[in-house]
Amino acid sequence: MNIPIPENVMQALEILGKNGYSAYAVGGCVRDSLLGNKPDDWDICTSALPEQTAECFADYRVIPTGVKHGTITVIIEKPLEITTFRIDGDYLDNRRPSEVSFTRRLEDDLCRRDFTVNAMALSANGEITDLYGGQEDLEAKLIRCVGCAETRFDEDALRIMRALRFASVLGFEIERETADAIRKKRQLLANIAAERIVKEFTKLLRGNCADILSGYREVIKMFLPIADFSADTVRLIAASPADPLLRLAILLSKSSAEDAEKMLRKLKYDNCTLKYVTLILESAELNLTDSRPQVKRLINKFGEKDAKLIADYHLYTGRFSADLHRSIVDTIDDITAKGECCTLSKLAVNGSDIASLGICPQNKIGKVLFSLLEKVMDGECKNEKNALVQLARNSKY
> Site residues (CB under 6 A) for ligand ATP?
27-28, 40, 43, 113-114, 118-119, 156, 158-159
Q: Which is nearer to ligand ATP, 6 or 27 (CB)?
A: 27
CB of 371 to ligand ATP, least distance (A): 55
Q: Which is nearer to ligand ATP, 113 or 375 (CB)?
A: 113
Nearest Cα to 49, choosing from 65, 30, 74, 68? 68
Residue 199 to residue 93: CA distance in whole angstroms: 20
Q: Which is nearer to ligand ATP, 119 or 369 (CB)?
A: 119
CB of 372 to Mg ion, least distance (A): 58
Q: Pattern of binders to Mg ion over 9-28, x per CB under 5 A?
A: -------------------x
Question: How many CB atoms within 10 Å of residue 364?
Answer: 12
Residue 385 to residue 354: CA distance in whole angstroms: 11
What are the two backbone dihedrals, phi and then psi, of residue 157, each rounded to the nearest 5 degrees? -75, -15
CB of 112 to ligand ATP, least distance (A): 6
Q: Which residue is nearest to ligand ATP (CB)?
A: 28
Q: Which is nearer to ligand ATP, 113 or 297 (CB)?
A: 113
Partner touching 113 among ligand ATP, Mg ion, none, CB below 5 to 8 Å by kind: ligand ATP
Partner touching 70 among Mg ion, ligand ATP, none, CB below 5 to 8 Å by kind: none
Partner touching 114 among ligand ATP, Mg ion, none, CB below 5 to 8 Å by kind: ligand ATP
Judged on CB neighbours under 10 Å (0-12, 13-18, 19+), 156 is: buried
Q: Which is nearer to Mg ion, 115 or 313 (CB)?
A: 115
Q: Which is nearer to Mg ion, 114 or 290 (CB)?
A: 114
Q: Which residue is nearest to Mg ion (CB)?
A: 28
Listed in order, strand segments (DSSP E) in the chain are 23-26, 43-46, 61-66, 71-76, 78-84, 86-88, 91-92, 96-97, 100-102, 120-122, 128-130, 142-143, 173-174
Q: Which is nearer to ligand ATP, 156 or 290 (CB)?
A: 156
String of b and e for 266-286 (b: at least 16 CB within 10 Å)?
Answer: ebebeeebbebbbbbbbbbee
Instruction: Tell me how many residues contact Mg ion (CB under 5 A).
Output: 1
Q: Does 39 bind Mg ion (CB under 5 A)?
A: no
CB of 29 to Mg ion, least distance (A): 7
CB of 187 to ligand ATP, least distance (A): 18
Contact 210, 176 (CB under 8 A): no
CB of 41 to Mg ion, least distance (A): 6
Partner touching 290 among Mg ion, ligand ATP, none, CB below 5 to 8 Å by kind: none
Distance, first Cα to last Cα, the chain: 81
Q: Which is nearer to ligand ATP, 159 or 296 (CB)?
A: 159
Residue 86 to residue 100: CA distance in whole angstroms: 7
CA distances from 301 to 139, 327, 374 (A): 52, 19, 12
Residue 123 to residue 69: CA distance in whole angstroms: 22
What are the residues binding Mg ion (CB under 5 A)? 28
